[in-house]
Amino acid sequence: MILSKRKTIQFRSYINLSHYQHYRTLGLSKPKSKPSNNQKPQNFTRRRRGSIPFMTSLKEVQDPDEALSLFHEYHQMGFKHDYPSYSALVYKLARSRNFEAVETVLGYLQDSNVRCGEKLFIALFQHYGKVQLVDKAVELFNRMTGFNCVRTAQSFNALLNVLVDNDRLVDAKELFDRSAKMGFRLNSVPFNIMIKGWLEKGDWHQACKVFDEMLERKVEPTVVTYNSLIRYSCRNGDLDKAKNLFENIIQKGKQPNAVTYALMMEGLCSIGEYKEAKKMLFDMEYRRCKPKLVNFGVLLNDLGKRGRIEEAKSLILEMKKRRFKPDVVTYNILINYLCKEGRAAEAYKVLFEMQIGGCEANAATYRMLVDGFCQVGDFEGGLKVLNAMLTSKHFPRIETFKCLVVGLVKSGNITGACFVLEEMVKRKMILDSDGWEALIKDSCRGDGGAGELVNKLLISTA
């Protein structure tokens, strides 16, 4: 067994690889369900969603309470709600985290004897998981058959993933062990979820036990399985173990993917082996695995971390020459380190460069730039970026707003400070007591602007 337990050294990971590879837990195709003998055959009228009046009206409603009222109004008018109506309403209520109303609608749905799709319940598991209502997800999983819905491995995997993500490993193992009794034949997906969970908890021994069980049941490990193990080994300083796992993938006749290489590159960079990490780009091509942006991202992140900004710029040029189009994450790495180096003006030029190249900035891009300008005391520059940010329908964190307001007041730009305050009010953001104190002190030191600012403050808080 190559997965022997060793002492490891913790170090900080450099780049979030999850942006590039989502952890696939729902990989099975959904089998067609057949009604059981005691179920009455259902007659379904197929209609496009856009043609359902209730669905059209529901899209225009923002308030979840109004959405539920609208549901009742249509029912009173004689409209017969079907599965699309129910599911659209449940999705809207769940997104707004109005789970009490979700339960109400689920009650109506169960009483209606409408045949339900499994995707609705999987989505609800995920919503419950995000707000730590794990027991509600478990309860709903147990109730699924009462909704005229067949449970498949997809909903089983979804619930297992929610348990693992919420650090309920004991409950996840119990569910995992009961899979056969529930009629599920496990493939690699649930094993991968359990391995991921134990590794996130830092328990290499338990992860290896799951891996061994996987082999005993003759379930073939996938590249995702190995990636989890390699990720843990690299990020805990055991590069030798990671290399053995990497070679094991190849010996098994499997093809390492771009994320596998990125993890190995990240491990090499962590011990200062940048050149060796870069050589892996050529190793990838030799093994017929086309490099992806994640691989360049690891190299960029390491260069930025070590203050080698010019080399990072050259690497982006090299990417373009090799016909790789940098995405927003790639540019954000460069912008982040430029701002950390106090080079906000250069970072702002990168924003133009990416936009000219057809790459749209995201909220993180603007936030880093506004913070970067504030860091060097260029509050006018920060205000300029804020305007662009608001135009793009993004907005800063409360800390950035506070820093910008105080900075604009100190530099004498009362109009700009008032504008920022008004934008805060629109978004229902308020300054803490320290922020108010700083504003009043700095405004009173000015020459005539204090009264205007104080008035604005009073109006804003009225």
Q: Can you read off the two tokens belonging to residue 175?
A: 């569910």
Supply angle C-alpha 92, 98, 99, rounded to 5: 105
The pTM (predicted TM-score) of the whole model is: 0.77
Tens-level pLDDT at each residue, the chain (462 residues): 444 433 333 333 334 554 444 333 333 333 444 444 444 433 334 444 445 678 778 887 777 788 888 888 888 887 888 888 888 889 989 998 999 999 998 998 888 888 889 999 999 999 999 999 999 999 999 999 888 888 999 999 999 999 999 999 999 999 999 999 998 989 999 999 999 999 999 999 999 999 999 999 999 999 999 999 999 999 999 999 999 999 999 998 889 999 999 999 999 999 999 999 999 999 998 888 999 999 999 999 999 999 999 999 999 999 999 999 999 999 999 999 999 999 999 999 999 999 999 999 999 999 999 999 999 999 999 999 999 999 998 888 888 888 888 888 888 888 888 888 888 888 777 766 666 666 666 656 555 555 555 565 555 445
Q: Are 71 and 54 in contact (CB under 8 A)?
A: yes
Query: How far is CA 80 from each of CA 45, 86, 96, 120, 218, rounded to the nearest angstrom?
Result: 11, 11, 25, 19, 49
CA nearest neighbour of 98 among 69, 141, 118:
69
Q: Can you read off the two tokens belonging to residue 282?
A: 């050529």
